[in-house]
């Protein structure tokens, strides 16, 4: 890992090797034999649905997860998506992972029916839906920022193009005036 001094402070370059060296919390699940056996690992902070891997052993699952982690983080870096870093232990300890949520009975019923249809617990369904929503919001905000940058670039390009057109029209008018003067037998002195 490398870095530089900016504003009198050491700033670390956050490249692929930096993110690969971070210790994200892992959820490890031993799979029952009737579901294929082996070990399933996920990194919930980066996205349970995209950062998960299976292997016959923990070591194999961890190697598979590292490949997924590297490829995805590399893509995020290339596209400029922000990458969450592991939360400090103090911060993690201040949240229990539980909260009470009041909602209309009809919504509770609808969620319960959907969870049953999908064969998951109500807690798993709601957690997955919240995670998906936050991820979509995060991606939407990123793309809105990129679109705004493109709009600004387009406006700058349009202004430069307009200036170029004005210069081009000005040059055409100057040539027309020179041609008219030449026809009349006058010569214009070049101004540089």
The answer to whether 53 touches 29, Cβ cutoff 8 Å, is: no
* 12-83 carries CATH number 1.10.3120: no
Indicate the pLDDT class of residue 66, thresholds 50, 70 and 90.
very high
d(CA 100, CA 110): 18
Q: Where does residue 88 fall: left (phi above 0), alpha (psi -120 to 50 degrees), or beta otherwise?
A: beta
Q: Is 192's pLDDT higher than 50?
A: no
Average pLDDT over residues 48-71: 89
Lowest mean pLDDT among 30-39, 56-65, 103-112, 114-123: 30-39
The answer to whether 41 touches 28, Cβ cutoff 8 Å, is: yes
Q: Where does residue 52 fall: left (phi above 0), alpha (psi -120 to 50 degrees), or beta otherwise?
A: beta
Percent of the chain at pLDDT > 90 equals 16
Indicate the pLDDT class of residue 177, thresholds 50, 70 and 90.
low
pLDDT in tens, 124-173: 888 888 888 877 777 777 777 778 777 777 777 766 666 666 766 667 77
Q: Which two tokens stand for residue 50?
A: 């995209």
d(CA 8, CA 18): 22
pTM value surpassing 0.75? no
Percent of the chain at pLDDT > 70 equals 73
Mean per-residue pLDDT over the chain, rounded:
79
DSSP designation for 34? G
The whole-number pLDDT of residue 101 equals 86
pLDDT in tens, 67-97: 999 999 999 889 888 888 887 655 556 677 7
The answer to whether 143 touches 137, Cβ cutoff 8 Å, is: no
The whole-number pLDDT of residue 45 equals 85
d(CA 65, CA 54): 8
The whole-number pLDDT of residue 60 equals 93
């Amino acid at each position: 890992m490398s870095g530089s001094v900016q504003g009198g402070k050491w700033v670390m370059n956050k490249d692929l090797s930096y993110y690969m060296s971070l210790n994200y919390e892992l959820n490890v699940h031993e799979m029952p034999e009737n579901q294929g056996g082996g070990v399933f690992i996920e990194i919930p902070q980066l996205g349970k649905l995209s950062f998960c891997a299976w292997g016959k052993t923990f070591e194999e699952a961890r190697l598979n997860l590292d490949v997924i982690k590297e490829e995805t983080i590399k893509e995020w870096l290339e596209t400029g998506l922000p990458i969450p870093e592991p939360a400090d232990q103090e911060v993690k300890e201040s949240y229990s992972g539980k909260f009470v949520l009041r909602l209309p009975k009809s919504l509770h019923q609808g969620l319960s029916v959907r969870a049953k249809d999908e064969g998951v617990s109500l807690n798993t369904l709601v957690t997955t839906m919240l995670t998906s929503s936050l991820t979509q919001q995060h991606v939407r905000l990123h793309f809105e920022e990129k679109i705004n940058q493109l709009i600004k670039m387009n406006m700058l390009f349009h202004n430069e193009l307009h200036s170029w057109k004005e210069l081009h029209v000005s040059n055409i008018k100057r040539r027309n005036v020179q041609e008219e003067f030449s026809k009349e037998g006058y010569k214009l002195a070049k101004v540089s």
